[in-house]
C-alpha cells in the first residue's frame, strides 16, 4: 500500500553522520538544509521511525538534531527525510480524556483519534502584549493557607517550590481535585520527567472521580530521552492554546515538574556541545524558561491559568533554575521541610510565600488586614523561637507569651486534611470557603481560642469544626 508522503518534493534526503546520546548529526551532501525546528524522520529497518528536531546548522551540509525517542541501535548512514514543518500534535475536543506523549501519540491503549483531528505545531509565539489582559480575578482553591496568604489569579501563573518529599505533587493533585467542583473549564496536565507511578496514579484517580473527560494528560516521563522531557510542556501548551484561542474556553494548565524541563534542557545543551553556565546549567536557561512561561497568558475572553510544581535541588532556593522560574510567577508558594517534619500539612511557609494579588485593591481591606496580622504574629513567633529554646517560654513578657500562644494556634488552624490523602490518613478531606478562613483567623487573632487546646485546631476545616472537637475533648475530660 502506498502512503502519501508529507515530505516536500524538493526536500533532499540526508543520512546520519554521528550519534551522541539524544543528539544526532545529519549530513546532506548536495542540498540545502531544512530550517531550525523542522521535524525529521529516520527510517530504521524493522523498528519504529525515529523523530528528530533540527536544532542548529553546523555548516552548509551538516545539521544537529535532538531525538524524541531513544537512539539505541541507531547507526551512521541511515537515511533521514524532512517532514517540511515542525512537530505537530493533535488538538481539540478529540484529545479530551486521552493520554498523549510529546509527539501527540496516544499512550492509553484507547481507540485511535479521528482522521480529521486538527493539528498544531508545538512551537508558537506568545500572544502580542496588546491583546493580553491582566489577571486580577481571584481563583479560590478551598485550601486555607493559599487563599489567605497567597491568593491565586484566574489567568495567572502560580508555582509550588519545594525540595524532595515535602508535598509538591500532593498539593498539585489536591488543587486538581479542588478545581473539579468549582471550575468548569478544560484541564491540561503536563507530567514532565516524573515517575511513571505518579502518572499512573493520576490517571486512575481522574478516571475514578469522573473528571477525565474534561482533561488532557501529556507525559514526558523520567525514563524517556531528554528531548521528549524538554518538549513535553510545549505539547501541553499547544493543546491549551487551541482551547483558549479557537474555542474561547478557560484552561487550567498543571505542570509537574518544571525543574525537570530545565534539567532536560541542560542535558541536551551538554550533548549539543555548549559550554555550561552557572552551577552547570545551560547558558540559554533564561531564554528557554521564558519561551515556555510567556506563552501562558490571558487574551480577551479566555485565559490559561498555570499551576506548576518546581523541585528545589538540595533545598537551595538560590539555585539559578529556581530563581529564573520564580521571576515569571504571580504567586509563589514555598514548601518548608521544617514545617513538614513537624507535621504541619500542607507544609506551606507563610513568611516566604508571596502573591501579587494580596493587595487591598484586589482582595479587599478586610482580607489584606487579616493576612498581614497573621504574618506579623507568625514572624514574631519565629523571632522568639531561639529565646524559647534557650531560656524557656517563662522568660518571655506577658505580651510575647500571648503572641506565641496565638501563633501556635494559627499554625495548627492553617493545616487541613486533603481529599487525595484520605486513603492514607483515614481523615476526610475538606474544602474551606475564604469567608470561613478569614473568620477563623480573625477569631484566633482576637483571642477567642486562647483557652482552647491546640490539638482542637489541628487538621480541621472551619472554626466550627474546631469548636466541636474542643467540646468533645472537654466532655471526655469531665467524664
Active site residues: 168, 194-195
Q: Cell numbers of 471, please?
A: 467540646
CA–CA separation, 229 and 381 (whole Å): 43
**Backbone torsions φ then ψ of 40, nearest 5 degrees:** -120, 155
β-pair partners for 160? 309, 333
Q: Are strands 215-220 and 138-139 parallel, antiparallel or unpaired?
A: unpaired
Length of the chain in terms of residues written = 479
What DSSP string runs through 409-467? HHHHHT----GGGHHHH-PPP----HHHHHHHHHHHHTTTTTTS-GGGGTT-SSHHHHH
Which residues, in sequence order, are CB contacts of 464 under 8 Å at separation 6+?
none
The 10 Å Cβ neighbour count of residue 48 is 9
Helix (H) or strand (E) holding 175: helix 168-182
Q: Is 19:65 a contact under the CB 8 Å cutoff?
A: no
In this structure, are residues 259 and 311 in contact, taking their beta carbons and an 8 Å threshold? yes
Q: Among the residues of 213-257, which ranges form H helices?
A: 226-245
Amino acid at each position: 500500500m502506498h502512503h502519501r508522503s508529507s515530505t516536500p518534493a524538493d526536500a533532499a534526503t540526508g543520512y546520519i553522520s554521528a550519534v551522541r546520546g539524544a543528539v544526532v548529526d545529519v549530513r546532506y551532501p548536495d542540498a540545502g538544509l531544512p530550517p531550525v525546528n523542522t521535524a525529521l524522520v529516520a527510517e530504521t529497518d524493522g523498528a519504529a521511525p525515529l523523530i528528530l528536531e533540527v536544532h542548529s546548522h553546523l555548516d552548509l551540509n551538516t545539521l544537529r538534531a535532538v531525538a524524541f525517542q531513544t537512539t539505541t541501535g541507531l547507526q551512521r548512514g541511515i537515511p533521514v527525510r524532512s517532514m517540511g514543518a515542525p512537530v505537530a500534535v493533535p488538538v481539540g475536543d478529540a484529545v479530551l480524556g486521552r493520554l498523549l506523549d510529546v509527539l501527540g501519540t496516544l499512550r492509553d491503549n484507547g481507540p485511535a483519534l479521528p482522521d480529521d483531528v486538527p493539528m498544531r505545531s508545538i512551537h508558537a509565539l506568545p500572544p502580542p502584549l496588546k491583546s493580553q489582559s491582566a489577571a486580577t480575578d481571584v481563583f479560590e482553591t478551598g485550601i486555607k493557607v493559599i487563599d489567605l496568604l497567597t491568593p491565586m489569579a484566574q489567568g495567572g501563573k502560580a508555582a509550588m517550590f519545594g525540595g524532595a518529599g515535602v508535598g509538591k505533587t500532593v498539593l498539585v493533585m489536591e488543587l486538581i481535585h479542588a478545581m473539579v467542583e468549582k471550575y468548569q473549564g478544560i484541564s491540561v496536565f503536563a507530567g514532565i520527567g516524573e515517575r511513571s507511578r505518579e502518572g499512573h496514579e493520576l490517571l486512575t484517580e481522574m478516571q475514578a472521580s469522573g473528571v477525565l473527560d474534561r482533561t488532557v494528560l501529556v507525559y514526558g516521563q523520567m525514563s524517556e530521552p531528554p528531548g521528549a522531557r524538554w518538549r513535553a510542556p510545549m505539547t501541553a501548551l499547544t493543546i491549551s492554546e487551541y482551547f483558549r484561542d479557537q474555542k474561547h474556553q478557560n484552561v487550567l494548565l498543571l505542570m509537574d515538574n518544571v525543574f525537570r524541563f530545565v534539567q532536560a534542557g541542560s542535558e541536551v545543551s551538554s550533548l549539543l556541545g555548549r559550554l555550561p553556565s552557572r552551577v552547570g546549567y545551560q547558558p540559554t536557561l533564561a531564554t528557554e524558561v521564558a519561551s515556555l512561561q510567556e506563552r501562558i497568558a490571558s487574551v480577551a475572553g479566555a485565559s490559561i491559568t498555570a499551576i506548576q510544581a518546581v523541585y528545589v535541588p538540595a533545598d537551595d532556593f538560590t539555585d539559578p533554575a529556581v530563581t529564573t522560574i520564580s521571576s515569571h510567577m504571580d504567586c509563589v508558594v514555598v514548601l518548608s521541610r521544617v514545617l513538614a517534619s513537624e507535621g504541619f500539612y500542607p507544609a506551606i511557609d507563610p513568611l516566604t510565600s508571596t502573591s501579587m494579588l494580596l493587595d487591598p485593591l484586589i482582595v479587599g481591606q478586610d482580607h489584606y488586614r487579616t493576612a498581614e496580622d497573621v504574618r506579623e504574629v507568625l514572624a514574631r513567633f519565629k523571632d522568639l523561637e531561639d529565646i524559647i529554646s534557650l531560656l524557656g517560654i517563662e522568660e518571655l513578657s506577658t505580651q510575647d507569651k500571648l503572641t506565641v500562644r496565638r501563633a501556635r494556634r494559627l499554625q495548627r488552624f492553617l493545616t487541613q486534611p486533603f481529599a487525595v490523602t484520605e486513603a492514607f490518613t483515614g481523615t476526610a478531606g475538606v474544602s474551606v470557603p475564604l469567608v470561613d478562613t478569614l473568620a477563623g483567623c480573625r477569631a484566633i487573632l482576637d483571642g477567642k481560642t486562647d483557652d482552647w487546646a491546640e490539638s482542637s485546631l489541628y487538621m480541621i476545616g472551619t472554626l466550627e469544626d474546631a469548636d466541636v472537637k474542643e467540646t468533645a475533648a472537654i466532655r471526655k475530660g469531665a467524664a
